[in-house]
Structure 1
Amino acid sequence: MAEQDEALLARIRAMEQAIGEIGTTLDETSTCRELAAFLARRLGGSVVVDLAAEQGVQARRAATASTASEPYPSGRTRTAELTAALAVSEDEQPFGTVTATRADGVPFSAEEAATVHHAARLAARHIGHARRLSATEDTALHLQRALVAEPGRPHPNLEIAGGYLPAGVRTLVGGDWFETVRLHFGRSLLVVGDVMGHGLDAAVDMNAYRTALREVAATDLPPHRVLRHLDSVVAEDDARRPATCLLVRVDPARGTATFANAGHLPPAVFAGDGSAALVDLPVGPPLGTGVGGYESTTHPLTPAETLLLFTDGLVERRGEDIDVSLARLAALRLPPDPGPHQVVDEVLRRLGAHRAEDDVAVLAARVRARPTG
């Protein structure tokens, strides 16, 4: 009885150790390496983990570990081998296999076999979770990119470029977005917005804001009245998240841009010499509060200038005052005559937007110069 109790305690200790050492990240390759290392230490000899591939494709060697001087027996010596499937249960398709080998030929005991199977099931559970999470993230990211990548088309007299970057490979998408709406008399409405939060809920709310904006903008109201109407519509739905939003109505014929701001950061204008300046605007409350109080202000915009609208992820950095963040943008000096595409590319690169802690959406626009002669 004492031997049985000791064996049971040893198995429990092995299970506890496996739980603490296998599956510490959401990366399946790391999980396979942790599985191989754990079993190699517990059993001695060498351990390999192979992940199954699609039909007709050879399995991938995901991890190896060994405590022997010759990690892979040559086959000329007597060996002991034990293989277990990477599956949570016997009735499901395994993710692969784990194989433990001893070159000295000492057979694996029942307790050691139980340890291998337990560790393999544990690893399979983590691999399955990682793959399901990855599929969910891919779905959310594709949704966000599809929504952001399909803005309306401005008039041909306006050249635009936009971009969207998620906040890291493992962060669910947020509510950052941009839009362009064609208005009467050759004018175009440019929009950038940011719904609070991340994930599919934020993306759904973002799409709702975007749809409502298109409907309101079609009435050709001044930008501040568009915001006022949009704010009142959204405020009626308690489930809708608040959002910041910046509208710019560009009139190429007059060479003007009319702005209205709902709690958003100010845009920047890049001059023909590549220097940047922030546009000083009155700021109203975010959308969805029902407070209103939005104002419009008009500034000149020449064909030599490129306007940049952006969400806060482009400039904000943890622990840094927002004025410092905006000053970094304003201090940029691009090559002369930067067009929308160059402005987007250079700003994203120079401000390290690919490593930003929040989603980033940017929209740049420049009035096309009229042909002369």
Structure 2
Amino acid sequence: MAERAEHEDVSAPVAPGAARLRLLEAQGDDLPEPDVMRLALQQATAALGALGGFVHIRRKVAGSDELRLVTASGLPDAITHAWVSLPEGGDLPPVRAVHDGETHWAAGDRAGIGATGMIAVALPGGDGPLGALSLFTAEGGEPDPAQCSFLDAVGSWAAQRVGRFPDISRPREPAAAERASRLATDVGDPAQAPPRSAAERIAAERTARMGDLTSALSEALTAKDVVRATADHVLPPFGADGLVIEAIEGRRLHVVGSVGYAQDFLARHLDGISLESNTTVADVLRRRVPVFVESESAFVRLYPDLSYMTSSSGKNAWVFLPLVASGQPIGTCVISFSEPRGFSEADRTLLTAISGLVAQALERARLYDAEHSRAQSLQRGLLPRSLPSLPAVTAAARYLTAGRGASVGGDWYDLIPLSADRVALVVGDVMGHGITEAATMGRLRTAVHTLAGLELSPEEILTQLNDLVVELGDDYCATCLYAVFDPVSRICTFCRAGHPPPLIVSPDGTPQVPDIPANPPLGAAEPPFETRDVLLSEECLLVFFTDGLIRPAGEDIDEGIARLTRTTVSAVAQIPVFPQEGRPGGRERIDTLCDMIASTLLRDEARRDDDAALLIAHTRPTAATDVASWPLAEDPRAAAKAREHVRDQLAVWGLGELEAATELVVSELVGNAIRHAKGPLRLRLLRSRSLICEVYDGSLTTPRIRRATYTDEGGRGLYLIAALCRRWGARYLEEGKCLWAEQELQPAVQEWH
């Protein structure tokens, strides 16, 4: 360890609760009552890591006592309003604390904010309790004796100062008026308060800033928010211009955020410091004692081996604060100054208390960051890593998380290749936010893939999904839009369950919102689901989305769809996604279109209270020259006729090398239909990235591969098809079924095509 001078300029260790009490005791006795109450409540909230709390004062109303709210912290107005007045005789902890002057804790979430319990301490007075300070606890069980003792001390401190005011039961001032009054008092406005000395004004301003810091840290969600709040509320009152907050990861310190330092300095000297190193921050953490360094020369005396850091940092005074939360060191906070300066006892006490506030806020923020990161990783893993490149559809998608403070959601999208170059497009939204909803989304997406692979119709797939959501329980609900596009007929079959309809844009820029039956959401629907067939133009854009894209702040859905329509038409006019003027369309253009639409609709992140998904698909039909179809007679000669059709068509397409294998595949498919099905029979060939052979019949009987023994004369046809083809299967139609098989084309053939 670097040698330190014999007389070090450091403070003794200060327990977090003791530091806060010293901070309170250092405040002037002439603070206005609102400042007293607010400061006491903020310190109590921070010390216990509570969700928020109240201070109530006892007053007489119509001859009976009631508790009147005078200040609140960390709670929304909707909750605060319900606690403005508490009549005597109730069973709430504040009422019981005032009744018997004791500390009371009750388990349960009495405000609907996710609290584990509520604790209240009395504000002692000469003629009985003046009121009560109460907190909503965030985790664990009943606060331990040390925490209860600290709350009693805070309550006594507040009661001593509140007792000096003649009207302690006046209603709480509005927040804006309260701040204006405090500001006028701080600057010595003679119309508002008697003049104060410069020292008194500085002390009052610091007190106000401490209250603002506590509020800002209580609202900080991420570690970056903690750094920002500390920089905004700590550096100005002390005249500091540098800040570095580091957190322990493994056995090293890593920079969470900084102000006033160059990135190369942080990378070379601070980021990744070992806890066993001979550095100031590591030393501070080992001893858990703040170090106040008033000049560069003082730093060199304390840490001579680190003198090289002072010149490169550009700083001349430092405060090194250990960040300790839940009894464990979690990082350091370094506040620095460009000029040398001294630190009074009041400065040291205040900064020590600040370190406790920052430590608790940072610990909460890192837990949030870790959970949020895990949830987002889970969600990214459940969504498609990339969309497939298909002959009939070029698609791009975007998933945008909700704004600051919101959990992950259950939005998803997918593009699923089906037989005969058909494509399934799906978008859905699980109601709610959180890891549970993200996991439910993953289950539904997996189910959609499985059901689509069975070639079920859109209404059958949504029926199965509805049953799955119902089995999850009454608390689950989801919306879904499922569509199947057939490039041969250009018909797109839509089925939606509680989901917004898609937007269709033709090559000339004309938008259309198709009239698709609005079935109830999954989990609340009663099948059957209604579908709608829409004949698409030669080429078009299909725009699928979730309501988070069109209603970022809860606007009307019709207004949101109208805004999406205008945005999409404008974007299509700027980006030539359809082939024109000799320029082919492509995935890059669809990607750019996705980015433009999403950024336009969700420009303000703060207004996003829901995640959003956007899927845009450019559809293309199968050329008529790539499709050949023939009816077949219902007799054994049909197989021979089918082979003849195959030979002729493959010759036209220049695919003579596939003739033998295709004849065998078609013979087996036709023979299977003649032996086990009924007419009418039809053969169809499609040339795409693969050669697709289809045989249609009028039976719903499902073909199965079975294990044939050595003595069996049949049962090997499907084995042959599976060996010769990339994949095969069956899909079911209203009038029967289709057996299909796909053979790979040579790369040169695909390139030529």
Give the TM-score normalised by the residue count of structure 2.
0.42
Moved over 6 A (4+): 5-8, 11-15, 56-60
Residue equivalent to 1:10: 26
- The 10-residue stretch of structure 1 (159-168 or 80-89) with the greater mean CA deviation from structure 2: 80-89
Residue equivalent to 1:130: 365
- The 10-residue stretch of structure 1 (288-297 or 159-168) with the greater mean CA deviation from structure 2: 288-297
Q: In the aligned structure 1, how far is the partner of 2:612 from the partner of 2:488? A: 31
2:412 touches 2:429 (CA, 8 Å); kept in 1? yes
Unaligned ranges ≥5, structure 1: 65-71
1:263 to 479, 498, 502: 498
Aligned residues with identical type, % of pairs: 29
Is residue 351 from structure 1 mapped to residue 587 from structure 2 by the alignment?
Answer: no
Opposite residue 617 of structure 2, the aligned amino acid is A
Is residue 49 from structure 1 mapped to residue 243 from structure 2 by the alignment?
Answer: yes
SS in 2 for 1:132: helix
1:297–1:277 distance in 2 versus 1, CA, 3 Å: same
- The 10-residue stretch of structure 1 (199-208 or 285-294) with the greater mean CA deviation from structure 2: 285-294
Q: CA deviation at 1:267?
A: 0.4
Opposite residue 248 of structure 1, the aligned amino acid is A
Q: CA deviation at 1:75?
A: 5.6
SS in 2 for 1:52: strand
Q: In the aligned structure 1, how far is the partner of 2:448 from the partner of 2:366? A: 37
The count of residues paired between Structure 1 and Structure 2 equals: 356
Q: CA deviation at 1:140?
A: 1.6
Q: In the aligned structure 1, how far is the partner of 2:398 from the partner of 2:319? A: 52
Give CA deviations for 1:20-39 in whole Å, capped at 9, x if unaligned: 52425420222322552486
Q: In the aligned structure 2, how far is the partner of 1:317 from the partner of 1:6? A: 46
Alpha-carbon RMSD across the aligned residues, in angstroms, is: 3.8
Greater C-alpha Rg? 2
Is residue 21 from structure 1 mapped to residue 224 from structure 2 by the alignment?
Answer: no
1:92 to 283, 308, 329: 329
Q: In the aligned structure 2, how far is the partner of 1:74 from the partner of 1:318? A: 52
1:27-66 matches, within 5 Å, as: 27-34=225-232, 36-37=234-235, 40=238, 46=240, 48-52=242-246, 61-62=258-259
Q: CA deviation at 1:117?
A: 1.6
Q: CA deviation at 1:361?
A: 0.7
1:1-373 matches, within 5 Å, as: 9-10=25-26, 16=43, 17=207, 18=210, 20-22=212-214, 23-26=217-220, 27-34=225-232, 36-37=234-235, 40=238, 46=240, 48-52=242-246, 61-62=258-259, 83-88=320-325, 91-98=328-335, 108-109=344-345, 112-150=347-385, 153=388, 155-238=390-473, 241-318=476-553, 320-331=555-566, 332-333=569-570, 334-335=572-573, 336-338=576-578, 340-352=590-602, 355=605, 357=608, 358-368=610-620, 370=622
2:212 touches 2:233 (CA, 8 Å); kept in 1? no
1:103–1:237 distance in 2 versus 1, CA, 3 Å: closer
1:6–1:342 distance in 2 versus 1, CA, 3 Å: closer
Q: CA deviation at 1:6?
A: 10
Q: CA deviation at 1:202?
A: 1.2
Residue equivalent to 1:67: none
Give the TM-score normalised by the residue count of structure 1.
0.80
Q: In the aligned structure 2, how far is the partner of 1:136 from the partner of 1:318? A: 25
1:162 touches 1:364 (CA, 8 Å); kept in 2? yes
1:7–1:317 distance in 2 versus 1, CA, 3 Å: closer
Give CA deviations for 1:251-303 in whole Å, capped at 9, x if unaligned: 11111100111011010111112232111101101001252241111111244
Give CA deviations for 1:180-203 in whole Å, capped at 9, x if unaligned: 222222212110001101121110
1:318–1:9 distance in 2 versus 1, CA, 3 Å: same
SS in 2 for 1:244: strand
1:9–1:186 distance in 2 versus 1, CA, 3 Å: same
Opposite residue 616 of structure 2, the aligned amino acid is A
Opposite residue 148 of structure 1, the aligned amino acid is L
SS in 2 for 1:92: strand
Q: CA deviation at 1:89?
A: 6.8
SS in 2 for 1:185: helix
Q: CA deviation at 1:60?
A: 6.5
1:90–1:288 distance in 2 versus 1, CA, 3 Å: closer
1:311 touches 1:362 (CA, 8 Å); kept in 2? yes
Unaligned ranges ≥5, structure 2: 1-20, 29-35, 44-206, 262-292, 299-315, 579-584, 626-752
Opposite residue 215 of structure 1, the aligned amino acid is T
1:97–1:269 distance in 2 versus 1, CA, 3 Å: same
1:231–1:59 distance in 2 versus 1, CA, 3 Å: closer
Give CA deviations for 1:42-97 in whole Å, capped at 9, x if unaligned: xxx65753323786988975379xxxxxxx987699x9976432333775242333
Q: In the aligned structure 2, how far is the partner of 1:87 from the partner of 1:145? A: 34
Q: In the aligned structure 1, how far is the partner of 2:526 from the partner of 2:551? A: 26
Higher relative contact order (CA 8 A, sep 6+): 1
2:412 touches 2:427 (CA, 8 Å); kept in 1? yes
Q: CA deviation at 1:155?
A: 4.2
1:232–1:123 distance in 2 versus 1, CA, 3 Å: same
Q: In the aligned structure 1, how far is the partner of 2:256 from the partner of 2:479? A: 49
Give CA deviations for 1:139-176 in whole Å, capped at 9, x if unaligned: 22222223223367474332221111112244222111
Opposite residue 186 of structure 1, the aligned amino acid is D
Q: CA deviation at 1:341?
A: 3.3
1:217–1:99 distance in 2 versus 1, CA, 3 Å: same
Opposite residue 423 of structure 2, the aligned amino acid is S
